[in-house]
Amino acid sequence: MLKFDFTNIFNSDIPNGITKDEIEQNSSKIKNILKDINENKPGFVEILFTNKWLDSVFNIKNFLKDFDNFVIVGIGGSALGNIALQNTLKPLNWNFLSKEERNGHLRIFVIDNVDPDYVAAILDSIDIKRTIFNVISKSGSTAEAMANYLVVRGIIETYGLNPKEHLIFTTDPKNGVLRKIANEENIKTLEIPENVGGRFSVLTPVGLLSAFAAGINIEKLYEGARYAFERTIKEDIWNNPSALIALTHYLYYQKGRNISVMMAYSNKLYYLADWYRQLWAESLGKAYSKDNQKINVGQTPVKALGATDQHSQIQLYNEGPDDKIITFLKTECFDRNIKIPQVHNEKSLNYLQGKTLSQLLNSELIGTESALLKHGKPSLKVIFPKIDEFNVGQFIMYYELATAIAGELFNINPYDQPGVELGKKITYALMGRPGFEEYNIGNQKQERIEL
Ligand code: PA5
């Protein structure tokens, strides 16, 4: 079971820190929010009450069996969850292992960006004949996903292969161009539930198929998520990780801490911080409140990696402005252990020789959190007794629920992203998409200051 340590959030040495009383004062508000979540289950919760989404993945397992490579084509919420599951739950060198070492499971690649160097690097390193491409787009219209789809489809056809045998679409049940193409050409598809948006969709077929292809136990992911939901709904605030995460972040935001750093002391868990970064940013960064007041709220999420970023960020976190609340991710059980050998008869290295790398890394975590506290900076810690499907499923659900609760506290809609739209429309105009001419900035008169 995942553990949470809020000790250094409430420490009385933190100047202008939050108190237990402030939590108590908000407890009935939280109770009402949780009641509402339970009664009007948002889509990302509703999916837990059926096996439909797991089954939809199991039902196409035969379709995967002739392949070595599984390539995800999608971006944002259609990619980040997959990347997080893959890197957190499989060895970091997964794609370099032999088929036997992978127990026959597939290598996983993600084509999200439209950087040609990046796309070419992936496509050059796989045997297209042995590759299944999973094109994921809820809207079925995102420019990056569609462009990369066209690129991979072009390659499939160049190789003289049947696109129907190398493509799976994961998309909206009714809408979008992917759905249209799938219907016309009878391409295999998986549905994304209508009421689940991109960044909340990792436990739908969006994230489940690639996870299954890599041999991740997706039923255990669901078990973890279901456990986290039940706990969040049942428990009072002091035994409720999602509620405490949301409320402590919200209260510290009110006191000027408008940055939320998630610092993983594990390269594997770092990818969960990446997933969280999108979830917190896109869900909570909003111009208007639910009652249409201009409020421009949002806490900027930052990801960091311990110990690496101790040599890059920690100076700022310790001595810089009081604008951060920090979450550490810790594992108590690395997959591997490396003993630091006794190589030199050298006094200054003796404190390392004979110890393990994990001992050093976890000591560095204690060192960093203690130093932050001494500098008056609040932090909390999420502890993975083991990095497995049950715990990762919990983490995902606790944080999705925390985001939904925080949305209520900030009085904004956490499920939309109107701020992404304008940039998209300008891009469409620049690329000549009919209907978007008015957004062409080339037509606007503006004094330019270019050096
Ligand atoms: O969270 C979101 O809604 C976004 O990040 C989307 O996932 C992203 O824009 C991709 O959208 P789509 O899946 O429609 O291609």
pLDDT in tens, 250-275: 999 999 999 999 999 999 999 999 99
pTM over 0.75: yes
Query: Exactly one of 39, 100, 184, 311 is catalytic; which is it?
Result: 311
Q: Is 344 a catalytic residue?
A: no
Q: Give yes or no for residue 393 having a pLDDT over 90.
A: yes
Residue whose CA is at the smallest distance from ligand 1 atom 15: 137
What is the best residue among 114, 139, 178 to mutate for testing ligand 1's pocket, by most ligand atoms within 8 Å of CB? 139
Q: Give yes or no for residue 440 having a pLDDT over 90.
A: no
SS (H, E, C) the chain: CCEEECHHHCCCCCCCCCCHHHHHHCHHHHHHHHHHHHHCCCHHHHHHHCCHHHHHHHCCHHHHCCCCEEEEECCHHHCHHHHHHHHHHCCCCHHHCCCCCCCCCCEEEEECCCCHHHHHHHHHCCCHHHEEEEEEECCCCCHHHHHHHHHHHHHHHHCCCCHHHHEEEEECCCCCHHHHHHHHHCCEEEECCCCCCHHHCCCCHHHHHHHHHCCCCHHHHHHHHHHHHHHHHHCCHHHCHHHHHHHHHHHHHHCCCCEEEEEECCCCCHHHHHHHHHHHHHHHCEEECCCCCEEEECCEEEEEECCHHHHCCHHHHHHCCCCEEEEEEEECCCCCCCECCCCCCCHHHCCCCCCEHHHHHHHHHHHHHHHHHHCCCCEEEEEECCCCHHHHHHHHHHHHHHHHHHHHHHCCCCCCCHHHHHHHHHHHHHCCCCCCHHHCHHHCCCCCCCC
pLDDT at 447: 81
Q: Is 188 a catalytic residue?
A: no
What mean pLDDT is predicted for residues 165-188? 96
pLDDT at 450: 87
Q: What confidence tier does 131 reach under pLDDT thresholds 50, 70, 90?
A: very high
Separation of 138 CA from ligand 1 center, angstroms?
Answer: 7
pLDDT at 442: 72
pLDDT at 419: 92
How high is the mean pLDDT of the chain?
A: 96
Give pLDDT tens digits for 67-123: 999 999 999 999 999 999 999 999 999 999 999 999 999 999 999 999 999 999 999
Residue whose CA is at the smallest distance from ligand 1 atom 8: 76
Give pLDDT tens digits for 150-164: 999 999 999 999 999
What mean pLDDT is predicted for residues 412-430? 91
pLDDT at 448: 82
Residue whose CA is at the smallest distance from ligand 1 atom 9: 76
What mean pLDDT is predicted for residues 366-383? 98
What mean pLDDT is predicted for residues 352-366? 97
Q: What confidence tier does 218 reach under pLDDT thresholds 50, 70, 90?
A: very high
Q: Give yes or no for residue 423 having a pLDDT over 90.
A: no
pLDDT at 376: 98
Q: Where are the domains of the chain?
A: 3-37+236-410, 45-216
Residues with CB under 6 A from ligand 1: 75-78, 137-139, 142, 145, 197-199, 282, 417
Separation of 435 CA from ligand 1 center, angstroms?
Answer: 21
Q: Give yes or no for residue 136 having a pLDDT over 80.
A: yes
pLDDT at 424: 86
pLDDT at 449: 86
pLDDT at 137: 97
Domain 3-37+236-410: which CATH number of 3.30.70.20, 3.40.50.10490, 2.40.37.10, 3.10.150.10 = 3.40.50.10490
Determine what percent of the chain is predicted with pLDDT higher than 90: 93
Q: Is 164 a catalytic residue?
A: no
pLDDT at 230: 98
Least confident of 58-62, 240-244, 420-424: 420-424
Q: Do domains 3-37+236-410 and 45-216 have the same CATH topology?
A: yes
Q: Give yes or no for residue 443 having a pLDDT over 70.
A: no
Query: Exactly one of 29, 41, 424, 425 is catalytic; which is it?
Result: 424
pLDDT at 251: 98
CATH class of 45-216: alpha beta
